[in-house]
Amino acid sequence: MTKKIAIDLNGPMQKLEMALLVVTLPLWAAIFPFFGFSSLFSFSGLVLVISSCYCAWYLTNCINNKLVFLETGVRLPGIKGGSIKYSDITRVIADKNVLVVEYIATVLRVKHIDIDSISETNATRLYRLLDEKISASKLSDEVCKILNRDQSS
């Protein structure tokens, strides 16, 4: 059994939006598409169908907005986040409130991870996991300053 640690990157506003989308699920998942497809060739029908698709996409994105640390690698956030082996990560830097992970797939790739609304406890957990799983030479000083908030005075 593999041990995995998930860090939620959603802030309080995203959690509220997710709860509202779940509560209104019957409205945008059943009623909007029904009326939208019945009048698809009108502007209002098209708006209803597009808004239903956007709600489904946004809810799926909020649910998958987690960094998952596995034994061999890290699963990136997002619908098409993918996984990276720890050995393939070349460096991790922080640019304002975005964590930038450079890794080698077949070529050098860059993944931007928004950490603007991460809680302090999750930021500290994320820093400790990055420090534990990735060698210290691959982490920049900005990552330490931004994520390790409880250590700073």
pLDDT at residue 7, rounded to an integer: 87
Q: Are 67 and 94 in contact (CB under 8 A)?
A: no
pLDDT band at 149 (very low <50, low <70, confident <90, very high): low
Rounded to an integer, the average pLDDT of 37-50 is 88
pTM of the model: 0.75
pLDDT at residue 17, rounded to an integer: 93
User: Which residues in 9-145 belong to E strands, given as ranges?
Assistant: 66-69, 73-75, 83-85, 89-95, 98-104, 108-114
Rounded to an integer, the average pLDDT of 76-104 is 84
Q: Which residues of 55-67 are buried (b: 16+ CB within 10 A; e: fewer)?
A: beeebeebebbbb
pLDDT at 152 over 60: no
pLDDT at residue 2, rounded to an integer: 61
pLDDT at residue 18, rounded to an integer: 93
Q: At what angle do helices 43-63 and 12-23 cross, to 10 degrees?
A: 130
pLDDT at 101 over 60: yes
pLDDT band at 50 (very low <50, low <70, confident <90, very high): very high
Cβ within 8 Å of residue 105, ≥6 positions away? 88
pLDDT at 150 over 50: no
Q: Are 27 and 35 in contact (CB under 8 A)?
A: no
Where in the chain are the domains?
10-63, 67-147
CB atoms within 10 A of CB 81: 17
